[in-house]
Amino acid sequence: MQKHKISAQNKEKAATPVARLAPAEAKRSAEVERKTRETSVTVALKLDGSGRGEAKTGVPFLDHMIESFARHGFFDLKVEATGDLHIDDHHTVEDVGMVVGRAFRQALGDRAGIKRFGEATVPLDEAVCTAIVDISGRAYLGYNVPISQERVGNFQTELVHDFMKALTDEVGMNLHLNLVSGRNPHHIIEATFKALARAMDHATAREPRLSGVLSTKGTLSS
């Protein structure tokens, strides 16, 4: 009798479904490292984070922008980089954009279940910038953020374009950045990063009504 009772309990236990996360849901995070003769960059990213950003790149203004991006996109993002800053900041800024983009691509996996599109307009005092994102698998950057000043402190303002291009190419997304208005270069750049963060937060979010990828082709990998 006892033996029969135990057997029945085991059978019932075996029949009870166990909740498991789907592989795409379980991932949504990535750690990426890239080393060259010019730079060494490591990035840790969690898409479903709380906005914890930490950046140590040797370029203080870039650190500020990355931490702001993480905060306003609700991403947990840690970036560490060393580079040939004795030459200039270009290699470091561009390569950080590349590795952050690669981390997003890996964290998104096959891109199943995501909203794919995102759009945000963000003001910062007199500056207003709009970011439009399509995580389509195809890379295209429309960059319409004219900045008349050459520098913010020691940071070259044209490097923002290089960062965004590297990020866009690695994620494999359409990104359109449009400056609506602005005078102060710090405000313009910060509004740009915040708008991107908000748009990326929406585009990478899960869509509960969706099964598979949001595409009639059935893939967003290319």
> How confident is the model over 51-87, as pLDDT tens digits?
999 999 999 999 999 999 999 999 999 999 999 999 9
> Computed from CA positions of residues 144, 148, 152, 155, in that sequence, does the dihedral angle turn out positive or negative?
positive
Q: Is 90 exceeded by the pLDDT of residue 190?
A: yes
Q: Which pLDDT score is estimated for 140? A: 98
Please give the sequence-ordered ranges of beta strands (E in DSSP) within 57-208, or none if there are none. Answer: 76-83, 117-124, 127-134, 140-144, 151-152, 155-156, 174-181
Do the bridges between strand 140-144 and strand 174-181 make them parallel or antiparallel, or are there none, so unpaired? parallel
When pLDDT is cut at 50, 70 and 90, the band that residue 6 belongs to is very low
> Who's near 125: CB < 8 A, 6+ residues apart?
184, 187
> Exposed (0-12), middle (13-18) or buried (19+): which is 208, by Cβ within 10 Å?
exposed
Q: Is 70 exceeded by the pLDDT of residue 217?
A: no
- C-alpha to C-alpha distance for 168 and 101, rounded to whole angstroms: 7
Picking from 61, 23, 57, 52, the residue whose alpha carbon sits closest to that of residue 40 is 57
- C-alpha to C-alpha distance for 73 and 155, rounded to whole angstroms: 23
pTM for the whole structure:
0.85
- Side chain identity at residue 88, one-letter code: D
Taking phi over 0 as left and psi of -120 to 50 as alpha, with beta for the rest, 136 belongs to alpha
Q: Give me 134's structure tokens.
A: 């399509």
When pLDDT is cut at 50, 70 and 90, the band that residue 210 belongs to is low
**Beta carbons of 137 and 172 less than 8 angstroms apart:** yes
pLDDT, the chain, mean: 88
CA 130 to chain centroid: 16
When pLDDT is cut at 50, 70 and 90, the band that residue 2 belongs to is low
pLDDT (mean) for 85-92 = 96
